[in-house]
Structure 1
Amino acid sequence: MTTHVMVFGNEKGGAGKSTLAIHVACALLHADRRVAVIDLDLRQRSLVRFFQNREAWGQANGAALTQPVIPDMGDGPTLARAEPQVQLDQFQRALDQARAVADVVCIDTPGGDTAISRAAHAAADQIVTPMNDSFVDFDMLGQVDPVSLEVVRPSMYAETVWEARKRRALDGGTPIDWIVLSNRLAVAAARNRQRLDERVALLARRVGFRVGPGLRDRVIYRELFPFGLTVADLSDEIRPVAVSLAHVAARQELRNLMQALKLDADSTPRQAA
């Protein structure tokens, strides 16, 4: 079986890459998929820490929580100080290990342009790029004219993805699916969002990415992190916080996200209301 490699990438920090990687990985686990996760944010390692929290909370509360495979990347801060080739070799070993055991590999990348991040993009079957509701975030994808706000040219991160796609084509591999997600949107609509959405749509046609829905800026996505849980885990037995209608809406957002990524439609479990 071919392993599907998903890379959560955006050279700007704070866009929500780790949050998306966490929720997609957990949704896939609930769909009985074999999942591996690789955290290339070597200093912060939010993805790995989430699953460490998940294991600890499950053991303390007698809850059987499914876990992904986490290939050994060594000590993160030490590896972050190592030479680029050492990092690349360690990543390749981790990726080979993940591909050997998993249906889906979720790779979280750091904010910034690094050799190890470029290697992950080149290995991707699907690149997931979250973008906040801001022209600051859009600037990583495309540059706009300061007077007319017309899209002038693709930016540096778009060029990084283009290079990964070109390399895949030269190697005779399947095309990389690139999807940009509108992430951490405020609940209320705004004129700025409309202007931004129009530019994203224009750039999508120009450089060839799909546009999909991300996750709104909800407290639930943050308050479950210390427990290593997501809205996909909440049930009558697993309920560390009070469940409200906002959680029901969050579950639907997660379903919409999985469908936009063209993953299994039933990637979220049946939940108690």
Structure 2
Amino acid sequence: MAHIIVVGNEKGGSGKSTTSMHVATALVRMGHKVGCLDLDLRQRSMGSYIEKRIAYCADKGLDLATPTYRPLPEIDAKELKDGENIYDQRLSLAVAGLEADVDFILIDCPGSHTRLSQVAHSLADTLVTPLNDSFIDFDLLAKTDLDGKVKGPSVYSQMVWSARQLRAQAGLPPIDWVVVRNRLGAQNMVNKKKMRDALENLSKRIGFRFTDGFGERVIFRELFPRGLTLLDLRDLGVGNLNISNVAARQELRELMKALNLPGVKIDF
């Protein structure tokens, strides 16, 4: 069966789609078959990213490693049995349509709580939760008091806990939950250290691993309109990468190592 990677949280602007596209493309470049689903039915950032990539390659005559993208199939509500949820069925059919042909299925969730997102989390073998390296985003994981002390898990952490319980009841392996710190500052600032300490303490309480993700870099905003990733730069004729691009490539390499996905050997 395909290993399912779910990229999700309940805040926008944390780099979910950038993380999703780079993880998916890196896996394809390393020889794995990857299928992608985008559960943000309104904005469709991930789906749009891949569509732009395919269009750019066709226009420039390029053959870049590209994951397979499938929109959720439409279902006639009249065909549903009593008690069946239309969103559950759409996601189930989408996963079933991919899993026989791919090694990994990557599901990009919207930055809000939806039925689709909730069900997707229960399917996750690996859950990747990007968040900006800020205590504003830390609130996604835990409730804190005025002094910054953790009072309890947030609604998102509670949703992950529910997903874990569903998997346990179904006899499935536990979710490997990885929190990814995006938009890290280049310097070892006081706030950066406080965030790391807070994540370290919280990770032991609610059961996740955490790792560094991507810094704030212009390159990601420049690549999106063409559906490209930083791993494509040399294929585009960029011979000498600048320091920022080299650093971003290293960040992706370290992220892929930290995810520790089955059968994946980092070779870029």
TM value normalised by structure 2: 0.91
Match of 2:152 in 1: 153
Verify the 8 A CA contact 1:258 1:267 in the aligned structure 2: no
SS in 2 for 1:110: coil
Match of 1:99 in 2: 99
Displacement, 1:92? 1.1
Counterparts of 1:267 and 1:203, CA distance in 2: 32
Structure 1 range deviating more: 239-248 or 127-136: 239-248
Pairs within 5 Å for 1:22-61 = 22-61=21-60
Q: 1:267 to 1:110 in 2, by over 3 A?
A: farther
Cα deviation code 1:57-109 (max 9, x no counterpart): 1111111112222223258xxxxxxxx92222111111111212110011000
The answer to whether residue 9 in structure 2 is matched with residue 10 in structure 1 is yes
Match of 2:182 in 1: 183
Pairs within 5 Å for 1:73-112 = 73-74=72-73, 85-112=85-112
SS in 1 for 2:25: helix
Number of equivalences? 258
Which residue among 251, 255, 258 is the counterpart of 1:257? Answer: 255
Question: What code does the residue aligned with 1:87 have?
Answer: Y
SS in 2 for 1:224: helix
Structure 1: which 5+ runs fail to align?
A: 76-83, 269-273
The answer to whether residue 219 in structure 2 is matched with residue 210 in structure 1 is no
Displacement, 1:239? 3.9
Pairs within 5 Å for 1:232-243 = 232-235=231-234, 237-239=235-237, 243=241
Counterparts of 2:224 and 2:71, CA distance in 1: 22
SS in 2 for 1:149: coil
Displacement, 1:248? 1.1
Counterparts of 1:10 and 1:242, CA distance in 2: 36
Verify the 8 A CA contact 2:36 2:70 in the aligned structure 1: yes
The answer to whether residue 208 in structure 2 is matched with residue 230 in structure 1 is no
Counterparts of 1:240 and 1:226, CA distance in 2: 18
Verify the 8 A CA contact 2:73 2:93 in the aligned structure 1: no
SS in 2 for 1:29: helix
Displacement, 1:31? 0.4
SS in 2 for 1:232: helix
SS in 1 for 2:140: coil
Counterparts of 1:219 and 1:241, CA distance in 2: 19
Counterparts of 2:240 and 2:216, CA distance in 1: 18
Verify the 8 A CA contact 1:36 1:105 in the aligned structure 2: yes
List 4+ stretches of structure 1 deviating above 6 A.
Answer: none
TM value normalised by structure 1: 0.90
Counterparts of 2:208 and 2:246, CA distance in 1: 29
Verify the 8 A CA contact 1:255 1:265 in the aligned structure 2: no
Counterparts of 2:98 and 2:238, CA distance in 1: 31
Structure 1 range deviating more: 211-220 or 62-71: 62-71
Question: What code does the residue aligned with 1:177 have?
Answer: D
Match of 2:69 in 1: 70
Displacement, 1:241? 10
Match of 1:135 in 2: 135
Displacement, 1:145? 1.6
